[in-house]
Chain A
Amino acid sequence: MTDARIASQDASLYLHPQTLARLGSFELRAKMIVEGVMSGMHRSPYQGFSVEFAQHRPYSPGDDIRRLDWKVYARTDKLQIKQYQQETNLDLVLMVDNSGSMGFGSIDFAKASGQGSASGSHGRQKWTKFDHATAMAAAMSYITLQQGDRVGLVTFADAITGLVDRSGQRSTWRPIVETLSTQTLDKPTDYSRVTDQVLAKINNRCLFVLISDCFEEPEHIRSALARIRHRGHDAIVFQVLDPTEQSFAFDEPTIFEGLEGEARLRINPRAIREGYLEVLGEHMDAIERATLSFGFDYQLVTSGSWLGPTLAQFVAQRNAKIKKGKMG
Chain B
Amino acid sequence: MERDDLIEYSLHAHHDEEKGKKIRKKIMQVTVLLTLVTVVEVALGAYIKQSSSIWPIIKWSFIIMTLLKAGYIVMVFMHLGDEKKWLRNVVLVPYFLFMLYLIFIALWEAVAVGEAWTTYGGA
- Answer whether A and B are interacting partners: no
